[in-house]
Amino acid sequence: MKDKTGKHTLNITFLTFLIAGMLASCSFKDGTGETDLNSYLKNPEVRKLHDEALKNYYNLDWDKAVFCLEKAKEIEPANLLINMRLFSIFEIVGFGHKYETERKYDFLYKDALRRSEHNPDEKLILEEIFGAGRNRDRTPERLESLRRKLGKEDVMLNIGLAFAYVYLRDDFDKAYQIIGYSVSSHPDIPVLYMEKCVLYRFQKRYDDFLKSAEEAVKRFPYNFHIIKNYSDAFAFKENFAKSQEIAMGLLMKNDSNPVLYYRIIQNYIDMDDPLSARKFIKEGREKFPWADYFYSLEAQLDYKIRYK
């Protein structure tokens, strides 16, 4: 199920957040005890690429993060940490990106599983995390245990833990507490502000969504995804004109993101401007031929015109 922004609603794959939480610096059993994931970063070049990818992840720059991780994978194809981080980003990006069309995460999982054939502990990790886990009811406790071990400063772990409480326990209060702590501890990491907005949107707290989006855009006035999120917030308040003003301004600076086209087209449909909607549907198809959701937008537009 997708909402007005083209983003998945609460039915979004929980796997994304489980992986995000378990990846950061946590430990996995390797048969001899506990091995810190830093052991997967012994190669200096792999570590450099990994750290650069993580920085881009925090700044919501998925393509640069994927570029760095794929370079690292070329050096160490069987590196468990690199494979899982790649998988996580493919899942996070999901809707509106060629990664979804190319089904990169399917190929990545099969390749990683094949390479782990002689390491039963790694194979178990891959099957549990990539396969979304068999014991989801215990996930928050596992993540809480890692959080106690690592301290409360691990951003990816905190994001994973917050959404584990949302998806598995419907405990939004706990999720807000965790994300709020992370925002106060790391006020310069854009992805935390985005996740806070996601929580508000899930609960249909659109006033809080707008307020949080406005706070984020003041702090990160040049971040594409933060500005796009601000446009979304106005759309959820049904202020489509303001949403469109922001989106069109963003388009003037960056016309290479199909999800921005989705927002613009959806706004035109909601504003009863079919001519402009069709113009951008046509342009979106030409620029992003792999993005099949332009067809669903056209169907929505046709339906609205026919039964108006």
Predicted local confidence at residue 247, as pLDDT: 97
Contact 157, 38 (CB under 8 A): no
CA dist 170 and 161 (Å) reads 12
pLDDT of residue 159: 81
Q: How many CA atoms lie within 13 A of 82 on its CB side?
A: 29
- Dist. CA 50–CA 68, nearest whole Å: 7
Q: Which two tokens stand for residue 215?
A: 């706070």
pLDDT at 226: 95
Domain with CATH 1.25.40.10 in the chain: 15-169, 186-306
DSSP H/E element including 281: helix 274-287
Residue 227 tokens read as 């500005």
Full-prediction pTM beyond 0.85?
Answer: no
From first to last of the 308 residues of the chain, give the pLDDT tens digit.
344 444 444 433 444 445 444 544 444 444 433 445 677 889 999 999 999 998 998 898 888 888 999 999 999 988 878 887 877 777 666 555 565 555 665 676 677 667 666 666 666 555 555 544 444 555 666 666 656 655 556 677 788 788 878 877 888 999 999 999 889 989 999 999 999 999 999 999 999 999 999 999 999 999 999 999 999 999 999 999 999 999 999 999 999 888 899 999 999 999 999 999 999 999 999 999 888 889 899 999 999 988 87
Q: Which of 266, 253, 275 is nearest to 296 (CA)?
A: 266
β-bridge mates for residue 18, sequence order = none
What pLDDT, on a 0 to 100 scale, did the predictor assign at position 28?
A: 45
Inter-residue contact 259 to 95 (CB < 8 Å): yes
Classify domain 186-306 at the CATH topology level. 1.25.40
Rg from Cα positions in the chain: 20
Q: How far apart are CA 231 and CA 263, in angstroms?
A: 8
Question: What fold does the segment set 15-169 form as a domain?
Answer: 1.25.40
